[in-house]
Structure 1
């Protein structure tokens, strides 16, 4: 089996059997393509069925000079998954990366915005333009519902159940969940729909898509990043922020205000509570305040 054939087969498996999104499949594929490119540069003829641990150790040694430990760990993990798939298909009997350890890395947490900073970002939006109402609704939805950027860009009008107080989200692996939505977020979405979206000429394929660009088509992930980056510059916020920062802030603020961790897990759509614990990192000062307020021996 040649590398291109094995990669195509693996991509089909990720899409059909595991139900992964195109972005996830592309990410996994990139790791394999890095290895394929390295093999070509080094004139190696080893196939995915025959490639040895020694060759892969040399590849890992090479990329260790080019990428940080976190990226190196991701590449090793991605390749392990690929070779596990070949074992699953009875094309190999062992995983050549089985004894290769990924570098140890700490948990890297994104910056969290304070409530005041989120208010400041939203107040920096120019509401005199049609895109202003849309952008305000976007930020309110990101923060108000804790969505991933891909979940926001694919959100449909038919997914809005405002009377019941929920929206239906299609997350990773096409798994669906219902997320509560507050009155404030509902109000800004309705303003956008009635004042801006209703006046747009909408492409047929985007007729049910909630948030649209000026040409009446769905927004891209890159466009959401650009909107937030520009607002951060206008606001003078020096933190490194992205759409995911709003999701992290959503979870952190809920936890700080007493929300149950399991409830936050369900709203975020995490399979594992461990993942939720990473996203809901809270400051030491808040923990100290909690001990001082609630511990029975706080005054002793």
Structure 2
């Protein structure tokens, strides 16, 4: 079925004159705007190789779990096999500007509110499992000469994270600025739950950080905002661990996509840099924190 066939089937219409307006070409999907009865919608069309990266059945389960949740995208149709999705267009809205701290504060509050709803699904997101899976999709060895050393360092963080207290709830996993919409009324919507799964919400904070390429000073400010100025050093270094882990995760994701333009982008390089830099920060600094230092010394 082509895109127009899907739209006609979902809305039970025979009018073939459906005008599709390209909205954006994302890293995993393309999106188009169309109108039915003067109401606008977005149809998401899966991109090349997306089926290797996204589990559509799990995504369908997530949208069932959050159905009716305020301030998440209003989905009217989702294909659990092919990944086509139709949602209502959120009028008078824009993606969050990572340079606007008022907007950053608003979407971190929305993310924390979402975590507090304690939605549950049957699947979880294992960071190291995905690191290895994306690595298996690479056509050749990593482009980074020190990849094996970097990966070994990141793997040494796993037992440290496993020994720290973790909450467990439905997380977005791809909680980046582009997946928050701010309306003219200053309402904030969370959209695109392709990767969502059960995880530690602290991981979502790290996800929010790495996509927009924030520096350390900005990262500390984001952590402080999310935890309402009550973050502990232990919590801060735990999120640093997550930043290192997801840096390698998305670096491998970039290599798995086999897209030359993406691989040569500042985004891909910075993800790998996050892995290396924040691993060093954790092991150079966290030893001074009693509980964290014991774990670092034991597993380092």
Q: TM-score range by the shorter chain?
A: under 0.3
What TM-score comes out, normalization by structure 2 length?
0.25
Structure showing greater Rg: 1
What TM-score comes out, normalization by structure 1 length?
0.25
